[in-house]
Amino acid sequence: MPATTSGTTTTFNFIDGHYTALLTTTDKSLTGDQSTTTLSDSIALSGSPGTTFETQRQCTSNTPAIVRFFFVSPRASGSTIGNPPAGFYTQFWWSNPIAVPFATDGDIGSMSAQMSNVAEWSDWNGKRPTDDPSVYTAFETAIRNVQEIGLSFGGTCFFETGVKAIYPANTPPPYEVFSSTFNES
């Protein structure tokens, strides 16, 4: 089911039995050069009392489902020759450790991350811009050439594997609603 936006709040229902991995936009007013931007989001879960959440791929037992910021910048992919981060890994960035864990229906949380703060981001391979000069260079290119931005759903060590709502037996629709009030300033 598609997400809907009203004012500055975007919502979607978790579909029974399905994992949701991303909620992103390519809106030109939210992409492009974001090097001086601070992202913030207020998140709410509502709809089906007793709902819990799980990730598709857990790295440890009892890993909570988590939502965090995410952006894509193909221009930051660099060369396709050589060892990582060459090519693929540095196109994709997640706020790390900035995230909000899911617990049960009715949870509300908020998060904020500075796009320029190298300590708040890691690439697809888990590398931070402070880990390697080539990762730093790719990050600087990425924050100036954002093509897609929004939220990623996963766990504590796999950031985009998806989150699924687990409903109590015989729960009829409407299902759990995820609400995001996303802001760039």
Asked, for residue 2, whether it belongs to a domain, the answer is no
Radius of gyration of the chain (CA): 17
For residue 117, pLDDT beyond 90: yes
What range defines the domain where residue 123 resides? 17-184
* Rounded-to-integer distance, Cα 38 and Cα 106, Å: 26
Mean pLDDT of 122-148: 90
Domain membership of residue 133 (yes or no) is yes
Helix/strand/coil for 168: coil
Give dist(CA 32, CA 100) in Å, integer: 25
Contact status, residue 111 vs residue 69, Cβ threshold 8 Å = yes
Write down the pLDDT at residue 33.
96
Q: Is 9 domain-assigned? A: no
Stretch among 10-14, 46-50, 135-139, 150-154 having the lowest mean pLDDT: 46-50
pLDDT computed for residue 122 by the predictor: 93
Count other Cβ atoms within 10 Å, centred on residue 1.
10
Does 117 fall in a domain? yes
Return mean pLDDT, the chain. Answer: 84
CA atoms within 13 A on the CB side of 121: 28
Locate 185 and state its tokens: 């300033």
Contact 165, 16 (CB under 8 A): yes
Residue of 95 and 87 predicted with greater confidence: 95
Q: Which pLDDT value is given to residue 78?
A: 60
What pLDDT sits at residue 132?
86
Tokens of 95: 């706020």
142: enclosing H helix or E strand: helix 133-144
For position 85, what pLDDT does the model report?
Answer: 47
Selection from 42, 55, 4 nearest residue 25 by Cα: 4
Q: How confident is the model at residue 37 (pLDDT cuts 50, 70, 90)?
A: very high
Decide if 1 is inside a domain.
Answer: no
Residue 62: what pLDDT? 56
- In a domain, residue 85? The reply is yes
DSSP secondary structure letters along 93-125: EEESS--EE--BTT-EEEEEEETT-GGGEEETT
Q: How many domains does the chain have?
A: 1
More reliable by pLDDT, 112 or 54: 112
Does residue 94 lie in a domain region? yes
Q: Which of 41, 39, 47 is nearest to 12 (CA)?
A: 47
At 148, phi and psi to the nearest 5? -145, 140
**pTM attached to this predicted model:** 0.87
pLDDT digits (tens, 9 = 90+) for 44-88: 988 777 777 888 876 665 567 889 999 999 877 665 445 554 567
Tokens read off for 157:
């060590």
Would 7 be classed as within a structural domain?
no
| C-alpha closest to that of 68 among 169, 168, 161 | 161
**pLDDT at residue 144, rounded to an integer:** 95
